[in-house]
A and B are shown apart, each in its own frame.
Chain A
Amino acid sequence: MKILTGNDLVTGDVVWWAGDGWSRLVGDAVDVGERGDELARAEEAALRVVAPYVIDATVTDEGVRPAHIKDRIRALGPTVRPDLTLKPNDADAGNWVI
């Protein structure tokens, strides 16, 4: 599947296109098919996102999984600071990115 990601213009937070808006949870990401570039341009113009780009991802038992490690780290947070990830209570969360 193709999913769309970027950063929130104001906060800089990593965000994922959820079909009707942006979510901070990669699990909410939806397949944008061939519409990614068009959506990116529109959302950037609407000042909701900065530096959007389309990536490959798969759906696994654990939810949406970006194809590249860099985007998995973006999705989770820094693996060396579990307390700052989206799963602060899961000490093994960093293993998800590998």
Chain B
Amino acid sequence: MYRYDNYDQSIVEARVDEFRDQVQRRLTGALTEDQFKPLRLMNGLYLQLHAYMLRVAIPYGTLSGRQMRKLGEIARKYDKGYGHFTTRTNIQYNWIKLADAPDILAELAGVEMHAIQTSGNCIRNISSDQYAGVSADEVADPRPWAELLRQWSSFHPEFTYLPRKFKICVIAAEEDRAAMRLHDIGLKLVERDGAIGAEVYAGGGMGRTPMVSPQIRDFVPEDEIVSYLEACLRVYNRHGRRDNKYKARIKILVHELGVEEYKRQVEEEFAHMRTLGLNPPTEELDRIRAHFAGPDYETGLSDAIDRSDPAFALWVDRQVVAHRAPGYAIVNISLKPRGGIPGDASAEQIELVAALAEQYSLDELRVTHAQNLVLPHVRKADLYAVWQKLDEAGLAEANLDLITDIIACPGLDYCSLANARSIPLAQKLSERFAAQDRQAELGELKVKISGCINACGHHHAGHIGVLGVDRKGVENFQLSLGGSGAEDASVGQITGPGFSEDGVVDAIEKVTDLYLAERQEGERFLDTYRRIGMKPFKEAIYG
């Protein structure tokens, strides 16, 4: 894992001191709310429905046990005993007091964490593959590049006031587990003639205008990735719409300019950048990369797993995936218990996972964009012990990528932007489809729910997506089918008129019934939908 150097530590601590002063001036009236709001947002502090909300960055979703323990401690000490893991692999605390915010940031700085750039029109937390460094299908660990981009983008003076927020994702595998093509810029590391570089995608995103990003370059050498991104951002910063926030994302610029013209301008800027010598020194990438060198795995370990306990065997089949090292496994921890709140974890659960990471996963864990957690380096011989401890804590649900592994934004229960509640719907669906055999029969089926058009719940990318809207003060839910955030990325299509909360649960059941009736051998729900199209589903739903 990356560890802060003195420079990283000093700039984070300086920001804490600066914010402490700003909060003090706000509390004494030296700053008005209009003056203070942009300052608190730069430190991840929002004012939500019930209180201030603090969003803490978890760079590329990677945490140490010590960091995770601190997140649990903050939940207990400063919040109401829980936190919410988000689709941006961050954590949010819902009940923060303004006066406590500087102390929380100081505690985070003590474990090399912060909330910088988790809001505002800047480059946000860099996201990546939750299996980075441990999956067999990647060409390289993408996290050194993600960390390099974190450093490059932190306090970047030219990109602090972009036309709109900007999200970057780095992956290095054929399987896209991070919704890379639904980011403003996506990088996919590839190998060409023995050299590492990146395919670059630009102009993806969700929100009110969902778009899957087109590829704008098929290979950027690794030592020029930063310069190339700088060129991408410069063109966006120059031409992005600042007059209309709904047309300000890079996806609109790429769409309106046209991909070829955007590419041409980026290449022109890139050619200029190349003359300036702005690429970070190779030694810096090497320094960062050294932090991500694979741990010293034990050798000679057995791959055998005692499956005599049926509940454990079920969990292994669903939650445990192959690790690149013999004798090890990747453990997915579901934050989607039956009838629970997707992504929420109590302080005790957070601290338990911290302890499990330390004891069983070489002191490392990950947060996924699907609002789950991952222990990336567990010896197969330890799986049963890990499962027992997770089970005792209510964290042993076996539903990875099944219909109850639902993504849901906080919705109208917490969010001031929301139009409808996402979580109660997720809970009803979780209950309706709780039977394990039914979930297994349906197979991979990704349900994603957003409480407003901003699409924090990724509904556009759901095999089944639900968007909550406000219809004359009453919650209403639009259903969409056929989205995907994976390597076969697509935007879902709306089925037709919306539903009440109970109505959309019934509609989803009709959709799944039709899928089971129509599917062919080996087809996932998404495959069947793509083969037979929307019409039969509409007929099943609306009659």
Q: Which residues of A does B touch, CB under 8 Å?
A: 7, 9-14, 44, 47, 50-51, 67-70, 73-74, 77-81, 84, 98
Contact = CB atoms under 8 A, between A and B. Distances in A.
A45 B270 CA distance: 50
Contacts of A51: 33, 47
Contact of B50 (A12, A50, A67): A12
B27 A47 contact: yes
Interface stretch (B111-119, B171-179, B363-371, B420-428): B420-428
10 contacts: A11-B51, A12-B95, A13-B51, A50-B47, A51-B33, A70-B412, A73-B413, A78-B50, A78-B94, A80-B423
A11 B424 contact: no
Contact of A80 (B50, B424, B475): B424
Contact of B33 (A11, A44, A67, A70): A44
B227 to A, nearest CB: 42
A13 B412 CA distance: 17
A51 B421 CA distance: 22
B464 to A, nearest CB: 21
How many B residues are at the interface, by size bracket? 20 to 34
B30 to A, nearest CB: 10
A79 B424 contact: yes
Contacts of B97: 10-12
Given A10-B27, A11-B97, A12-B97, 8 more contacts: A9-B98, A12-B95, A44-B33, A69-B470, A69-B473, A70-B416, A70-B418, A73-B413
Contacts of A68: 473
Nearest to B426: A80
Interface of B: 26-29, 33, 47, 49-52, 80, 94-99, 341, 412-414, 416, 418, 421, 423-424, 427, 470, 473-475
Contacts of B98: 9-12
B49 A80 contact: no
Determine the main DSSP class of B at the interface with A.
mixed
Contacts of B473: 67-69
A82 to B, nearest CB: 11
Contact of B96 (A12, A44, A73, A81): A12
B507 to A, nearest CB: 19
A73 B412 contact: yes
Contacts of B80: 84
Nearest to B36: A50
B358 to A, nearest CB: 29
Contacts of A9: 26-27, 98
Contact of A7 (B26, B47, B474): B47
A47 B47 contact: no
Contacts of B95: 12
B412 A69 contact: yes
Nearest to B80: A84
B266 to A, nearest CB: 40
A45 to B, nearest CB: 8
Contacts of A12: 47, 50-52, 95-98
A58 to B, nearest CB: 13
Contacts of A47: 27-29
A79 B421 contact: yes
Contacts of B50: 12-14, 74, 77-78
Contacts of A69: 412, 470, 473-475
A73 B414 CA distance: 9
B413 A79 contact: yes
Contacts of A44: 33
Contacts of A10: 27, 97-99
Contact of A70 (B27, B47, B49, B51): B49
A12 B94 CA distance: 10
Contacts of B412: 69-70, 73
Contacts of B47: 7, 12, 50-51
A69 B419 CA distance: 9
A74 to B, nearest CB: 5
A24 B49 CA distance: 13
A2 B248 CA distance: 36
Contacts of A84: 80
A12 B23 CA distance: 13
B309 to A, nearest CB: 32
A78 B413 CA distance: 5
B415 to A, nearest CB: 10
A9 B32 CA distance: 11
- 8 tightest A-B CB contacts, nearest first: A12-B51, A78-B413, A12-B52, A80-B423, A11-B97, A47-B29, A80-B413, A74-B49
Interface centre among A11, A13, A44 (most CB of B within 10 A): A11
Nearest to B410: A78
Q: Report which residue of A7, A14, A44 has the largest number of chain B beta carbons within 10 angstroms of its beta carbon.
A: A7
